[in-house]
Each structure stands twice: as structure tokens, then as C-alpha cells.
Amino acid sequence: MSAGQPRSRAKGIEFFDVDHTIIRCSSGVRFISAAIRRKLFPRRLLLLLPWYSITYRLGILYVGSYEKEFPLFRGLSRDDFQRIAEDSFRSKMLSDIHPQAARLIAGLKAAGRKVYLATSSLDLIVAPLARHLGVDGVIATALEFKDGVCTGRYAGEPLFHGGKRIRVLRFMKEAGVDAADCSFYSDSVYDLPLLDAVGRPVAVNPDFRLRRLACKRGWEILKFS
């Protein structure tokens, strides 16, 4: 089945990772770059972004302390957060969208499938992308805000490593959906726990470790350019 030929049955849900799956790069990197342009973050962060991207694609990124909090965003207001997210989407992320991904999602929606984003990225960062694509919802990492200001802590558990699997499976249970009837599209070996849990795992532009596993297990591999 090609990327432009969605399944016709209506039950189940299609879950999509975001970074390097629907879009060509990291939504977080785009957001941080936009915040630097607004002089809300120090320019020295630009030196770290290439390292982040390379280690992510190699499947060796260590999340470390970010599993507990995200201090970079401490003190940022919700209004500023949303404005930066809109700015990063309009200026960069919109053109980052893989056309094949957008067509696939539109086709799945037309066929009656529910489509959700399932991402470790922050919900406020991917909200403009979700609205643009017209998906049914977003399952993402969320930050805690008090009096409209970010504390740097997470609201609930972040969707890192197996956290995404736990959150999405919980969502399926609450929605009365069987994981065997669901698909998950991802580029990264980090998402292996959720890929293993669904009935139809799909590797999209996979990193080298996920490609090797997908070939070994006979999973579908899609190439978006």
C-alpha cells in the first residue's frame, strides 16, 4: 500500500509522531530558534542545536534531567509561548511539512479514520501544526503553568521513552479502541515501545536502528522527501 492509499475501515486510530515524521526537523528546535530571534533565549543555544539534531538522528540522545523538568522554559508566559509557537510554525515549520505526510493524513481523514499526533514535543509547540493538518487531537508532553507563567516542570508525565507508549495505550483504553486496530507512524527507535504495541507499526524515514528493526520484522517503511 502506498502513502496515498489509506485503509478504508473506520475503527481504530492512526497515531503520528511529529519530528522527522510529519515535519523534516525538530519542532522544539524551530521553537527555540524563534525564541532566540525574539531575544527570549540566549544566542549561545544556537551552538547546541546541531548537536541535538545529530544525536537524535543517531538514536543516542540522552534526555537526562529533562525527564523531570524543562528549566529552559521557566518564567516564560503562556501568551509568549503561544506567540512563539505561531511564529515558528508560520516562518519555518509550515514549509518543513512533508507533502506526502500531509496527503496521507488528509486521505486517512477522508476515509473516516481518526488521526492523532503522538509526540514527545510540547503540546503548545505542535498546536499550530495540529490545527493546520486538521487532526482529531494531540497527545503530547505538557508543561505546568501557574498564574500564566511556566514553572519549568511538567504537567503529568513527559512522553519520553516508554512514556509515550503508556500515555497512548491509556488513551486507547479510555476511547474503547483496541491497539491491534491502530497504526503508529514514526521515524525513531525511541518510539519502539509504542511501535511494538500497535497492530500496524510504520517506519517513516527511519533512523538506521529503526530501519534495521523494521526490515527484520517486516514492518512497512515509508520514505517522505
- Residues whose CB falls within 8 Å of the CB of residue 133, separated by 6 or more in sequence, listed in order: 22, 97, 102, 105, 115
User: Element (H or E) spanning 119, and its range?
Assistant: strand 114-122
Considering its fold, how many domains does the chain have in total? 1
Mean pLDDT on 18-30: 92
The pTM for the full model equals 0.87
Residue 36 covered by a domain: yes
Residue 215 covered by a domain: yes
Mean pLDDT on 203-213: 95
Residue 60 covered by a domain: yes
Residue 200 covered by a domain: yes
> Above 90 in pLDDT, residue 1?
no
Mean pLDDT on 14-34: 93
Residue 71 covered by a domain: yes
> Above 60 in pLDDT, residue 150?
yes
* Residue 165 domain boundaries: 13-222
Residue 149 covered by a domain: yes
C-alpha 160, offset from chain centre: 11
> Above 70 in pLDDT, residue 197?
yes
User: What CATH number is attached to the domain comprising 116?
Assistant: 3.40.50.1000
Q: Pick the range with the lowest mean pLDDT from 107-121, 125-139, 156-170.
A: 156-170
Mean of the per-residue pLDDT values for the chain? 87
Residue 25 covered by a domain: yes
Residue 5 covered by a domain: no
